[in-house]
Structure formats: structure tokens, C-alpha cells
Amino acid sequence: MSIDAQKQDLTIGIVGAGAMGRGIAQVSVTGGMKVVFFDAAEGAAEKGRDFIASMINRNVEKGRMEKAEAEAALKRLSIGASIGDFTDCDLVVEAIVENIDIKKKVFNQIEEVVREDTIIVSNTSSIRISSIAAACKHRSRIAGLHFFNPVPLMKLVEVINGTDTAADVTAALEVIGKRMGRVPVVVKDAPGFLVNLGGRAYSTEALRIVSEGIATPFQVDDIMRDSCGFRMGPFELLDLTGIDVNFPVSQIIYNGYFQDKRLSTYPLHESMMEAGRLGRKTKAGFYEYAEDGSLIQPEPEAPVTADPARRVVLAPEHSGALDSILRDLGVSVLKEDDGVSPILADPIGEDCTALAVRLNLDPKRLVAIDTHTGVYSRATVMAAPGADDDIVLSVMAMLKQISGGVTRIKDGPGFVAQRMRAMIANLGCEMAQIGVASPEDIDKGMKLGLNYPLGSVEMAENMGSRNCFKILEQLQAITGEDRYRPSQWLRRRALLDLPIHTRD
């Protein structure tokens, strides 16, 4: 039997007084639980306690917490002289260096002093829980409890089941996570767990698009922020986390899943690391940064000065969204091709080259507009190689009348937004398929752990699962790459027209 996770005097031992340990201790005491705080480095636990006190008192100053409540929370925090002081703990959280040998040693030391029903967890972000548990006597009580930095602000916690973790241990950790004010999601022990795995598609597909010369980092970031609602573009995010952090993590996850091409990054990623352009920390990454850390804005794209197109021809295959946009603009749609006007299309997953050949359209006058994420915040257009620049510019000028910005990219299947969103959704669906977590928990993880505007599974629903499936099929057909292989979870629900969260 596991502990009573609801009991009033539940006590948590925490090993490690770094940023994560401090944060876990803070949310534990403010959640009404006692904490025994220990760090092997002399004075580290005391410094951690002082830091926690300053954070809690700041919350009082800002009116987020009553003074009496803060004082009670701080009384629940005590310093341990050694691991031996964890004797009466119901739960022990290890939050030390990411080294499996050191972690195994600490877990062995903890097991020597705690009760048999005490749960022992690791806050590791990358090491398999089962690997740590393999060195323990009672593997059923070993699990992962992965918080996100800064812990008091990040509401998500991953409850990670090792191979032998008991169901009542998982259930107890969910309750404790909620008592800490977190939102727990139950995750299978797998490379990257939930959030680090689910976040791969956003950066790796962006790297691929830029490496293919379809768009610049600045353009990709603009599109993903303005058209798709992401708080940060993928290249801003890569620079923020640091190339020396996200490239190795990408490789660990890629190799952990035996080189599944859907998880592969691109040589550009490694080149940036080798060049020492690590992002904000080195004042240079995909962007340049001033000494104070502020972004040095890239040169803006040249303004569109062409005369707006007033007469257009529509490709035989187009959506009602394109008709609606043209009505808003008051643009005349010709019933017959006059041989000189722009030919407009809004393909799903196809590039202008493939569309022109398939429908026998003039590639010099064909301009594709991505209506899938709308055009009012930002419009994205593309044309085939050899297109008439005046035609393309006239379409951009036309869109500029109703759009917050217009981005022209090179010809590429799925534009930027379609392609990026489809890859994010596909990875979420694959995670559901292989049981990393429930579809609902995958969505919670992406929104709370990475601030995505939508969960990666529900993103497929938002796009239309058939559209999402079609984009991936087109990408796979045009590129010939296994990278764009649709998840069977997505394929079956798209073909059967079932809600994307439908369980097997």
C-alpha cells in the first residue's frame, strides 16, 4: 500500500537546493505540506530556504498571499542535516544533477532510511525512471515527478510511470501534485517523457523549412506568432533555451526512438552549436542580441509598393475562404482566364509547382495564398520558380489592404503554417498512439508546459483531421520522405471522420 496522499501532515523530503529543488519546496509548503530540505553542499539548503522566504514574502507584498498564510508556510520548511533526516517523510523528491550514477547512489541512500511505503521520485528531465529504479530494492514505489522551471509559475507536473511503478503510487502523486497547485499529467517512461518529446516538431520542422530556403527564421517566426497564435516563434525559442541545450536533447530523443525520421533535426542545428552561436547567452544565435540582452531587430522586408490586383482568375480547386477574402476586398473574379490576370489558389499541402502541373495552370501567373490560418493577422503567399514578380507583388499589395502583414515565401508544399501545424499535430497523435500519455494529457502538457495555443492532438481537430492527414500525405508524396509519415492514430480518425480524441 502507498501513503495517504490526502493526510494533513504529509511530509516531503527534497534533495537538492538548486532552482528546481527550491521551487518544489516552495509549492510544497504553500500547498500545506511539510518539507525537509537537504543539499550536500554546505550552506546550500540554508541559502535555498532564504530564497524561498524572499519569494513567499514578495507574494505577500504583491497581495497574492496573506501574511499569516506566508508565515505558516515558512514554518513548514525545515533544513535536514543529512539524508538520514528523511526518516519520517512520506515522499522524497530527488532534484540533483542529471547524472544517472549519482542519482542511483542517492536513491540507494534514501532507501536505507525511509519507510517501505515512502514514495521516492526523481525530477529528472531526461533520464529513464526505470534506469534509476533498476538500482533500487522496492521498484514499485519509484517514479518520476518532473516539474518545469520556474516551478512556482509553471503549472504542469509530469507524473512518470517507470516499468514497475505501482498504480497507487501514481494515484498518490497525482493528488500531491494537485495539492502543490500543479496540474498533473500521467506519462509513460520514454525518451523526452511528454513535453520534451512533444516539443520536437516545432523546432525541427522550422529548421527544415529554413534549410530548404523556403523562408528565413524571421519569416517563420512572424508566421507562427501572427497566423498561428504561438507566443514565440521557433527560432526565438531556440535562441532562448540555448542551442547547446536543445540540439543535444533533440539528438537524445531521436536516438531514443531509434532514429524515427519524424523526430530528426537538421544539420543547421548542429552547425549553429559548432559555430558557438548558442542564442541569447552568447549574444548571437539565429538572431543578434545587444549587450543588455535585447534583440537587435532584423532588417524589415521591403514594403510592397505595387498597385493592388483588381481582377483575378481562380484556380479550379479553391476554398470558400478565398472567395470570402476576395469579396471583402471587392476584387473582380473573372469567369474566363484573360491570360494576364493573377491566378489565385489556396492549396492544402501542395506547392505551386505541383498544382500548376496537375491543373495545367500558367505557373508564371499562379499565386498561392494560405487561407488555412486566415490572412487578416498575417497573409502568406508563394509562387512557383520563374513566376512573374509583378503579378506576385500585385497580389501581395491586394492582401495588404486587409492584412496586418504579408509574407512571401519560396515555393514549398504546405506553406509554413500548414506544414508546421501538421507536424506538431502528427507528433501529438503518434504520442497518443504509442501511449506516452492520454490524448487529453498530451494537450494539457503542450499548453501548460510549452504555452502552445492548442494542444498538439487538438491541433489536428482544429485543422480538420482530414486536412491534417492530407497535408502530411502531400508532403510525403512530394518530398519522398518518411519524415512526413502520418500517425496511424491520425489516419484512422481522419478516414473514419471520428473526433481526434476517440480512444481505441
Q: What is the mean pLDDT of residues 188-209?
A: 97
Phi, psi of 163 (to 5 degrees): -60, -35
Claim: this prediction has a pTM higher than 0.85: yes
Q: How far apart are the first and last CA of the chain?
A: 31
DSSP state of 497: T
Cell of 176: 500531491
pLDDT band of residue 300 (cuts 50, 70, 90) is confident
Among the listed residues 471, 441, 472, the one whose alpha carbon sits nearest the alpha carbon of residue 457? 441
Percent pLDDT > 90 in the chain is 97
Mean pLDDT of 365-393: 97
Cell 547524472, residue located: 99
Give alpha helix (H) positions in 119-191: 129-133, 167-179
The pLDDT assigned to 302 comes to 82
The average pLDDT across 310-314 equals 98
The domains located in the chain, with CATH, are 11-189 (3.40.50.720), 197-296 (1.10.1040.50), 311-409 (3.40.50.720)
Q: Is 299 an annotated catalytic residue? A: no
Whole-number Å distance between alpha carbons of 131 and 454: 33
Catalytic residue among 123, 125, 161, 426: 125
Identity at 245, one-letter amino acid code: V
Rounded to whole angstroms, the Cα distance separating 266 from 250 reads 10
* Euclidean distance between CA atoms 468 and 196, whole angstroms: 22
Catalytic residue from among 161, 196, 341, 394: 196
Pairing outcome for strands 343-345 and 183-188: unpaired
Among this protein's residues, is 71 annotated catalytic? no
8 A C-beta contact, residue 385 and residue 411: yes
Q: 419 pLDDT band (50/70/90 cuts)?
A: very high
All three cell numbers of 53:
522566504
Catalytic residue among 2, 28, 130, 158: 158
Determine contact, residues 306/393, Cβ cutoff 8 Å: yes
Q: Name the active-site residue from 111, 146, 236, 467.
A: 146
Question: Is residue 98 very low, low, confident or very high in pLDDT (cuts 50, 70, 90)?
Answer: very high
Backbone angles phi, psi at 38, to 5 degrees: -140, 140
CA gap 305, 186 in Å, rounded:
54
Closest CA to 159 of 131, 187, 118, 128: 187
Residue 280 corresponds to which amino acid? R
Q: Cell 495552370 appears where?
A: 361
List pLDDT tens digits, range 156-178.
999 999 999 999 999 999 999 99
pLDDT band at 486 (very low <50, low <70, confident <90, very high): very high
For residue 1, name the pLDDT band (cuts at 50, 70, 90).
low
Query: For residue 382, what is its C-alpha cell?
Result: 508563394
Least confident of 3-12, 213-222, 291-300, 429-438: 291-300
Question: DSSP for 278-301?
Answer: -BGGGTBSSSEE-TTS-EEPPPPP
pLDDT, tens digit (0-9, with 9 covering 90-100), for 5-57: 999 999 999 999 999 999 999 999 999 999 999 999 999 999 999 999 999 99
Three-state secondary-structure class, residue 200: helix
Per-residue exposure over 234-269, b if at least 16 CB sit within 10 Å of its own CB, e if not: bbbbbbebbbeebbebbeebbebbeebebbbbbeeb
Side-chain half-sphere exposure of 175, counting CA atoms within 13 A: 17
395: cell is 497580389
Reported as a single tens digit per residue, the pLDDT across 460-477 is 999 999 999 999 999 999
Task: Count how many Cα atoms sit within 13 Å of the Cα of residue 470 in the half-sphere of its side chain.
Answer: 11
Residues forming beta bridges with residue 31, ordered by sequence position: none
In whole angstroms, what is the distance from residue 183 CA to residue 115 CA? 27
Q: Is the pLDDT of residue 412 over 60?
A: yes
Average pLDDT over residues 111-115: 97
Q: Kindly tell me the sign of the dihedral angle through the C-alpha atoms of 21, 25, 27, 31.
A: positive
User: Would you place residue 313 in the very low, low, confident or very high pLDDT band (cuts 50, 70, 90)?
Assistant: very high
Residue 125 annotated in active site: yes
Mean pLDDT across the stretch 316-340? 96
> Average pLDDT over the chain, rounded to whole?
97
Residue 158 catalytic? yes
